[in-house]
Amino acid sequence: MPGGTFLRGLSEREEERVRELASAAGMATGEVKPLLDELATMRPVAEVAVRPFLMGQGPGDEIEPGAIADWLADGPFRLPTEAE
C-alpha cells in the first residue's frame, strides 16, 4: 500500500450533520445511541501520515502467534498500525 496522509476525525459541522441525520431518521436512540455518545471523541480533525506497507492475503506460510514478533524483526515488513 502506498504511503500518504489523510485527515482522521470529524469536524464540528460533520458531527452536527451526523446528529441531524440520525435524529431525522429516528435513529438517535437504540443501537445508534452508543455511537452518537462517542462522536465528540472523534474530534478534532488531525492529519495522519502513513508510511508505505505491504499487505497480503492468504495462503502463506503459517506462523505461530508467539513467533510473529521475531519474524517481523527479521524482515523488512511490519504490522499496520491502528490508523492504517
| Total of domains in the chain | 1
Helix, strand or coil, per DSSP, at residue 66: helix
How far is Cα 84 from Cα 74, in angstroms, rounded to an integer? 22
The pLDDT value recorded for residue 59 is 58
Can you give the pTM of this predicted structure? Answer: 0.52
pLDDT tens, residue by residue, 11-20: 999 999 999 9
Task: Establish if 82 belongs to a structural domain.
Answer: no
Q: Which of 15-24, 35-44, 51-60 has the lowest mean pLDDT?
A: 51-60
Question: Residue 6 is which amino acid?
Answer: F
Task: Establish if 18 belongs to a structural domain.
Answer: yes
Ramachandran bin of 10, using left for φ above 0, alpha for ψ from -120 to 50, beta for the remaining angles: beta
Task: Establish if 79 belongs to a structural domain.
Answer: no
